[in-house]
Chains A and B, each alone.
Chain A
Amino acid sequence: MDYRPSRMAVVAKCAEAFIREFFDQNPLSHVGLVTIKDGISHRLTEIGGSPESQINALMGKLECSGDSSLQNALELVNGYLNQIPSYGHKEVLFLYSALNTCDPGDIMETIEKCKKSKVRCSVIGLAAEIFICKHLCEETGGSYTVALDESHFKELLLEHAPPPPAIAEYAAANLIKMGFPQRGAEDLISICSCHKKIKSGAEGYICPRCKVNVCELPTECRTCGLTLVSSPHLARSYHHLFPVAPFDEVTFKLGQKGGQNCFGCQQSLINTGGQSNIHVRCPKCNHHFCFDCDIYIHESLHNCPGCESQRSSSR
C-alpha cells in the first residue's frame, strides 16, 4: 500500500505535525530542514526556534528528483551542527524513501565523523530496510524504523518528538544564563528589535539585561545574546526529567472508605450495572483517578493533582 497522493506530500504533511509537536514538547530547541535532490543536499531552512518559518517552507512547493546521497546530507548537516554550543544535543532525523544511496566517497568515514562530533542519527524509512541506514543508526545511537503505511509513519514520526535519554558520552552539563523577560507597560511605545517596527509596549517582552524589545519567546536577544524564555517553557522541558509515576490499576472493593469519586474530575468511579470497576490510583498520594484523568495527567499535565495538593511538609 503506497502513500497517496504522493510520498512527498505525505512526508510534508506529517513533518508539519511533527514540528508542532516537537516544539510543544521541547520549546527550547531549534530545528532546521534539509532536502536531498539529484545526489546533492540543500538546506531548506536555517536552524531556528520558531515553528512558523519551518512550516512555511514545508507548505511551499517541494520537488524531489534524482538519486539520494546519504553521505552528502550527513556532511552538510555536520557542518551546520558544529556551530551548536557544547551543552546542546545534536540529532538528525532522516525521512528516507530511497532504496540506495549514491555517494561520492566512502560513507563509513562520514559515519565516523558523525560519531566523533556526537551527532545522533535516526532514520525512518518509507520503503524497505536498508543496511547502511541500520549501520548509521547503530553506530551513532539512534533508532531505525520502517513505516508500513501512512498512519504508521505518522506514529513513528511523532515518537521522535519527546527527547530521548541522553547518552553518557554526549551529554555535557553546563550552567546557562537565561533571562525571564516581562511584558512592557501598555501605554509605552517600544521599537521591536527584530522587525524594526514601532509598536505598543504591551505587545512584546523587554529583555532584562539590555532593555530592548523582543517579539516572541523563547528566543535569543538580538542585542545582548541572552537566552530569553518564560517559565512555562522551562517547565515543559523539565517535565521530561521528572515524569509522573505510572498509576496502579485497582478495583473497587466493597466497604472501602473513600475512592468513590475521581479526585481529578469528581465523577463517580462506581459503575452500576455490573461493569468492571477498574480505575487507577497514584502510588504516592493514594488518590483515585478515572482513566480519562489518567491519560490527561500523564500526557498533558505532567503533575499529579493529588501529590501537588498535599502539604509540602509531608513530602
Chain B
Amino acid sequence: VGAKGLCVKPGGAAFAFSGSQFVPQSEDKLIFTPNDPRSLMKLNVDFRSIKGHKFNKVDGSKPTPPLLNLSKDSDKGGGYIFEFDNVGNRDLCRDFVARVLGKHQGTVPARTNVPSEKSAVSTGPEQLSSAEMERRMKLLREDSELQKLHKKFVLGNILQESEFWATRKNLLDDETNKASKQKPGFKSAMLADVRPSADGQTNKVTFSLTTEIIHQIFAEKPAVHRAFLDYVPKKLSEKDFWTKYCRAEYLLRTKNTLAAKAEAADDEELAMFLKNDDILAKEAKLKIKRVDPTLDMEADAGDDYIHLPDHGILRDGSRETADIDSELARRTLSQDLNRHAAVVLEGRSTDIESTDTKTVAEALARSKKEPPPSSAADDASHERLVKVARMTEIEDLQAPRSLPYAPLCIKDPREYFDSQQANALRPLGSNDGRKARSCSLSTDDAFRHLMDQISSVKMNCPVVQSDVALKVLNELNEGISRSRRLNLKNPQDSLLGRLPHRTRDELMDHWTAIQELLRHFWSSYPITTAVLSNKVQRLKEAMTQIYQKLQDIKESAQPDVRHEISQLVKPMTQALDAAFYHDQQQKSSKAGTGSKPNGF
C-alpha cells in the first residue's frame, strides 16, 4: 500500500520516507520499505511495541491527507505517523492494525459470537440485527480505549454486552441515519414547469429533465405515467418519448392551438399528451360522488376538469360549447397548483435511489394503491371532511384560541419543616415525633437560663494561645500560596511531577475502568429485580478487586513517589468508598433498622 511515513523518535527527530510500501508483514511485524531502492532506510516495527492507534477524519473541505498514527509506549514517547494517498488505503491499514492490536491485547473483535451468551446470568441472548453488530464492531475498531474497556468487562464476564452498550447509545445512534430518513418534498417550482433554454442562434429549445423532475411528472400526471409504461421501450425509445412530451408542453405553453391540432392529427402519441388526463378525470368523478351534497357545488376555475359533464355548474355559461368541441386541454395555473397540492398531501411513498426512469416508473406504479372498496372509502372520506371543515374556519371570526395557563401552586413551606422536625425527633426516642412538644418557658426564663449556661463556662484564659494561632495561620497561608503558585506555572507536570508516566498511565487506566464500573453501579439503584441485584453483585466484586489493586500499588511504590501515588489514588478510593457506603446503607435500610434522613 502506497504511503508516506514520518517516524517520530523520542528525541524529536523525524525521518520522512516517500513513495514507500506499507507492508503488514505478518500479524507481528510491520515492514515499511521505501520504493526507492537506493535508500537504505527501512522500518521494521514489532506490533507488540505499538500500544494505540489514532486516525484523523478526512472530509473534502480541508486539504489534510489521511493519517494513521501508531503510538508506542507513552513513557518513552515516540510513534509513527503514516500519511496515505487516499482514504481507502488508510482505512484498510487501520482496520488491519486494529485487528492485530486487539489480538495482542486479547480481544478478537472481528468475530463476535455475542458474549452475552457466555455470561453466567443472561436474560436470553440478545437479538441484534446485523447492522447493529456492524456498528458496534466499527466503534470498537475505531477507538482502542473503548476496545480495552470492552475486553475487560464484557469478556471478563463482569458486564453484559447489552449493558455495556446501553450507556453508549449516542455513539451507536448514527446521526446520518436519522437525517437520511427524511425525504425532501416535491418542489412547487416545477409548476413553472421545465423551462426550456433557447439558444439565440438556432431555432432549438432545450429541456433538461432530471430523475427528480421525472418522478414528479409521473406523480402528477398519471396519464403520462401510464403512457410511459405502455410505450417504452416497445414502441418508443425513452428519448423519443420525452422529446414528444416536451414538444407537447411547448405547444401548450405557447397556446398555439392551430399548430397543436395539426400536429395532433399527425402524431398519435403527441396527441395523447395534448389531450386531457383521463385518469385524473376518472378520479375527479369518483371524488364528486363522495362529496356531501349539502355543500355548495358551485365550482370555479380552481377546480380541475370543469369541462366534464355533471361536474359542477359553470358560472359563465357561454364557454360551454367551445370547450366540448376541442379535444385539446386548457390547463390553468390554479388547476396545476391544486393537482400539485393533492399529490403532496398524499405523501411521498417511494425513494428515488436509481437513476433509471424505467425502474422509477415501475416503482411508482407498484406503490399506487387501488381505490378502496366503497365502505372503507366512506370512513376515510368522512375523516377528511371533518378535517376540511375544521380547516376552513375563517380565523378572523373565531375567538382567540389560547390554551389556559397553569396556576402557580406552592405548598406551605411549614409542612416541609414540620415533617423534617418529626424526622429529627424520631431517633431521640419519642414515639410520635409529630406530637408538638408543649413548652412552657417564657422568653425571660429562656434568656436567663441561657445566660447562666454561658457564664458558667470558665473564660479565664483564651481558648487558643495567640502565638500558636499566628504560627498556624502563617503556615496555612504559605501552603495555600505555594500550591497556587505551582498551579499557575504548569498544572499537569507540577502536580504529579515526579510520577513516572508509566505508573500514571496505569493508574489512569484503572480510573477509566473504575468510572465505567461506577456508572453501571449507580444506574442500577434502586434495586428492583433479581437481574439488577445480580449485576450489582458482579460490579461489587470487580470494584473490590480494583480497590485491592490500588492498595497494592500504593504499598509497593518506591518511597520517592509514594506520596504522589497516594495522592492520585485518593480520589479513586474515595469514589469507590462512596459507592460501597451507599450499597451498605441501602442494604441496612432494606433490613429495616436505620432511619432515612431526608428521605435519601
Contact = CB atoms under 8 A, between A and B. Distances in A.
A106 B345 contact: yes
Given A39-B184, A43-B175, A223-B519, A196 B511 contact: yes
A45 to B, nearest CB: 11
Nearest to A177: B600
Interface residues of B, number: 57
The prevalent SS among residues of B at the interface is helix
B347 A41 contact: no
A113 interface: no
Interface stretch (B122-130, B363-371, B426-434, B567-575): B567-575
Contacts of B582: 209
Contacts of A225: 522-523
B408 A69 contact: no
Interface residues of A, number: 53
A172 to B, nearest CB: 10
Nearest to B180: A40
A38 interface: yes
Interface stretch (B460-468, B478-486, B526-534, B543-551): B478-486
A168 B408 CA distance: 10
B273 to A, nearest CB: 27
B401 interface: yes
Given A200-B487, A200-B495, A209-B578, A105 B179 contact: no
Contact of B405 (A79, A168, A211): A168
Q: Considering residues B170, B491, B519, B523, which has the most beta carbons from chain A within 10 angstroms of its beta carbon?
A: B519
The prevalent SS among residues of A at the interface is loop
B318 interface: no
Contacts of A165: 405-406
B111 interface: no
B518 interface: yes
Contact of B403 (A43, A169, A212): A169
Given A191-B572, A198-B495, A223-B519, A40 B184 contact: yes
Interface stretch (A96-104, A251-259, A291-299): A96-104
A91 interface: no
A17 interface: no
A211 B575 contact: yes
A223 B575 contact: yes
A102 B187 contact: yes
Interface in A23-52: 38-43, 46
B347 A189 contact: no
B64 interface: no
Given A189-B571, A200-B491, A104 B184 contact: yes
A167 B518 contact: no
A191 B492 CA distance: 11
Interface in B167-184: 170, 175, 178-179, 182-184
A165 B303 CA distance: 45
A241 interface: yes
Contacts of B483: 186-187, 200
Contacts of B570: 188-189
A67 B496 contact: no
A141 interface: yes
Contacts of B405: 165-168
Contacts of A40: 179, 182, 184
B496 A198 contact: yes
A188 B406 contact: no
Contacts of B579: 210
B515 interface: yes
A104 B570 CA distance: 58
A223 B406 contact: no
Contacts of A211: 571, 574-575, 577-578
B584 interface: no
A84 to B, nearest CB: 15
The 3 residue pairs across chains A and B that have the minimum distance between CB atoms? A39-B184, A224-B522, A105-B347
13 contacts: A40-B182, A43-B178, A69-B184, A76-B182, A104-B185, A106-B347, A141-B402, A167-B403, A173-B409, A200-B487, A210-B518, A211-B575, A224-B522
